[in-house]
Every structure is written in structure tokens, then in C-alpha cells.
Structure 1
């Protein structure tokens, strides 16, 4: 019995000592591997340093060889009379040469005279634009005669008129007078026409002017020029110079600025700021019955 126990203990001791030896060997192997890694890193660094030093030395030798070759080339060119051109930003002074066999020293070229800067011309100030004031004088108001009236084919509220305003051919005018003025009252009628609005298309037909009317909630009346007027006669307003634009620029809103001051007065005369619109030596432009209402 005691012999068996002794044998078991011996086997256990042997097993434990074997495990300990394995562990020790594993630790030793790890340590050895780490030392080998460190040694390899050191060798790599040393190799790189040696390689870099050799490359620097080789570059220095090559640069020296290049400079020697350049110097030799320059000597050969000088010997054969080839002039040397200075290189920009070159620190050393360029070599100047003379022709082969010449005993005279090279002549220095005189410095080129610098051109004096030309005096700047004074810019002339731009002349201020002489645009006339925005008033009734900018509107091209003329006497005109309606030669033909038709209903607009695509707009129930519009007439299409052919109006003679003293030009080579009559102008086409679209006017929204259908609900206010019977067609018979417009035929062969003399009117006051605003002729320098920008032409616009109204339901497919280009309108080239505007028939001036007295307008209010009570109704709309076409203004009537004095008797004896002929198509093309200009309409004036005393105190304002008549200098109409060929075509009023919509962006400048000339008509929109003037329109609030266009009104009929208590005696039915069409006025601008209280001054009647007239045909010189013939009379004023008047409404039929609408007093103190806008003209448009």
C-alpha cells in the first residue's frame, strides 16, 4: 500500500516538473524572439544609415563631376570663340570671351538706358448725362384720327383701331373701350394719341399707341381735341418743354411718374399739374362731361 502511494507521488512530481520546464522553455523562447526582433530593427536602421550615407557621397561625387564637366565645356567654348550667355540668378559672374586670337580684353557693354515712364494722361471726367426731367414733355402726345375700328378677334373687351397720327401709315392700336364707347362713336373720330409707348402684343395683335381718355368710376370718355386740328399736330403744355423720348423705356417708368398729375379740371380741360393740354392757336383738349378725373 505504501509503495503504491509513493509511486503516485513520484509520478505527480515528475508531471509537475515537466510542466514547469515547458513553461520555462516557452518564456525563454519568447525572450529570444523579442531579442531577435530588436536586433533585426537595429540592423535595419544601421543598414539604412549606411545606404543613405553612401547615396549622399555618390551624389556629391556626381555633382563634382558635373561641375568639372561644365567648367571644361566652358573652357572649350571660350577657346573656340563662343560667347557665354549669363544665366539668370547666377551667383558667379558670367565668363565673357573674345574672338580667337584677339589680344584685346572684352569690352563691357554700357548699361541700357531705362525708358522713362510715360506720364499718365488725365482721364477726362465723364460728362453728366443731360437727360431731361421726367414730366409731360417726355410724352409724345399728338392729334390723330381713327380711320377704322374692328372688334378684336380674340378679346371681347378690345377694339382694334387703325389711327392716322401724321405718319406714312396708320398705327394699329388695341383699346379696351368696348364696354364704354360704342363703335360708331369711334369711327372717323379725332383723338389725342400717346405715341411713344413701347409696342406691346395684346392677344396676338401688336398695339403701337394709346388713345387718351378721361376715366373714373362713372365711366370712360375719349378726350376731344379742338376743331380744325389735323393728324400729327403736337400737343403742348405751357411751361414744359416738349422733348419726347423716341420710345419710353419701361424700366424708367416715365409715364407711370407723369400719369398721377394728368387730370381733367373743373372746366373739363385735360391738364398736367393744373396746366391745360393744348394745340397751339386752336384750343384745349377736353372731356365730354367728366370733371376732376384721371386722364389715361
Structure 2
């Protein structure tokens, strides 16, 4: 009896691979959805474990499939991999032109007499994709909860010794010692109004030197091309209290990674509303139990 048509076998394998790929895509989507919903370091570690187990299961399925095909005498064929960093099956060894074009026959002589090579049909070598690590939480969620916004008190401010447009402030943000903050507010806020006043500070920017002085936070202000106002916390708020946003739970990063451009993605959605209340996508800057943060007079303005 002659063996089944090679094209039929290849089609059967392709169908099996398609079904396996679709199943794996569904599993990957479920895992991604779970990571987004949980948004916690504990869940991330759990997902990494599940991802490793899934890869082991896939490798086991691949091995079983290849062993069954080899036992049937079917030639190795490259099987596609699932996008997203998880490989469903490794590539089998690429067939040589002779074996790729040889026609199965009942006699050994037919197998030993391959047709001439056709260089135009030579398949390019496929580069094996390396598994990618599971996406971290910081790559999944980019919203205002990533920012460490706190109530602060500017204790003192003075002009920067080497920059006419900069103030150097000492700010209490609820820590054992004040933070040094450099702000470009000289042209907008008189020096006397910078002394002993409440403000909203972003405290998890990477410290940066500004004309020789290291700035450890940023004063949040309503801003337009010709006017700037420091945001005021609600009455009764004390240094160190966190500013939160309804509908955006989560803990802030310890320090924002400048390469991830988290602040740059969030800042365009920070604005004051028609009543001068500071908002993110319509959610107010709020100190729990105390009230909302606002600008003095600037409505419908950007915040930075």
C-alpha cells in the first residue's frame, strides 16, 4: 500500500498547529488580563511561575508530537511559533533540497535518486525566536497611580546661586529631613510667597542636578505660557499625606524609570477643570478626608 499524500500529512500537521496556536493565544490573553486585573507584585510572581509551567507543558507537547511523527516516518517540518515571546514548538531541522523535493517511493532506488536542485525554491533559514520575559507591571499600567504625589510644606526658598530663573527650596514631605527642590518659578512667584507655604510635590522622579544643585522632587503647578500657580492642598492637609485619584488605585513606583517615559505619558492628562480643581482624566487630586487640590485662579490649564 502506498503512503498517504505528503501534502495531506502536512495539512493535518498545519491544522493541529493552528489549533494549538489558537489555544495558546487564548491562554496568553488570559494571563495578561489577570496581570492587569490584579496589578500587584504578588500576582506578577504567580504569573511568571504559570508562564514557566505553560512553557514546560508546551515543550512536552512538542516532544510528543515530534516523536509520533517520527514513528510514522513523516519528514520534519518547521512549525510556526506563537507571537508574544512564548514558543509553541521549536523549529525542526530544515530539510535539505534533496529531502524536501524527494518523492516517496516503495523502492530504495527512487529514494536515492533525487531530482535536480532548484535554487529558486531554496527555503531561507528561519531564525529561532528567543522566549521573551513576561511583561512587568510597570509596562502594563501607565496611569496617575504610578506617581508619588504628596502634600508638602515649602519651609524656605532662595534664589539659585548660579541661575537667575531658579529657586532652591527646602521642603517637608513627611520624611525625617526636608528634601532639596529646584524650581524654575522666579519669573512667576515672588520670593516672599515661596516661604512657609503648602504645595503638592511629586516625590518619585529620579533626582537630577540643576546647575550644580540636586533636585529631589518637583513642585506641581497649573501652567500656561504666561502664568504659573502652585497647586494648593486642601485645608487641614499635613506634609506627607498622599494625593490619590478616584478610579485609579495602586501604589506609586519607588522611582520612575526615565527610559519608560511614564511621566511624559501621564502629564498631558493633568489639567485644572472649570472650577480650578486639579484633575487627571476628570478625577480630582484628592487628600483622603480633607478635600481636593486646586489652583488659585487658573481654570482649564495644564499641570506640570
Alignment TM-score > 0.5, same fold = yes
Deviation readout 1:204-223 (Å, 9 max, x if unpaired) = 00001000000002400001
1:238 and 2:241 aligned: no
2:218 aligned partner: 210
1:249 aligned partner: 257
**Structure 1 CA distance for aligned equivalents of residues 226 and 181 of structure 2:** 24
- The offset of 1:128, in angstroms, is 4.7
1:290 and 2:272 aligned: no
- The offset of 1:275, in angstroms, is 1.2
1:280 aligned partner: 288
**Structure 1 CA distance for aligned equivalents of residues 206 and 285 of structure 2:** 22
For residue 136 of structure 1, the aligned residue among 118, 125, 144 is 144
Alignment RMSD: 1.7
2:180 aligned partner: 172
- The offset of 1:129, in angstroms, is 2.8
Tell me the TM-score normalized by structure 2. Answer: 0.56
2:30 aligned partner: none
**Can you give the 5+ residue segments of structure 1 that lack an aligned partner in the other structure?**
1-120
**Structure 1 CA distance for aligned equivalents of residues 134 and 185 of structure 2:** 46
**Structure 1 CA distance for aligned equivalents of residues 198 and 178 of structure 2:** 13
Q: Is the 8 A contact 1:236 1:242 kept in 2?
A: no
Distance 1:127 1:232, change over 3 A: same
- The offset of 1:243, in angstroms, is 1.3
Distance 1:280 1:154, change over 3 A: same
**Structure 1 CA distance for aligned equivalents of residues 296 and 226 of structure 2:** 13
Once the two structures are superposed, the pairs formed by residues 48-87 of structure 1 within 5 Å of their partners are none
After TM superposition, what 4+ stretches of structure 1 lie above 6 angstroms from structure 2? none
1:45 aligned partner: none
For residue 268 of structure 2, the aligned residue among 253, 260, 281 is 260
1:219 and 2:227 aligned: yes
**Structure 2 CA distance for aligned equivalents of residues 232 and 243 of structure 1:** 15
- The offset of 1:241, in angstroms, is 1.1
1:33 aligned partner: none
1:201 and 2:201 aligned: no
Q: Secondary structure of the equivalent of 1:267?
A: coil
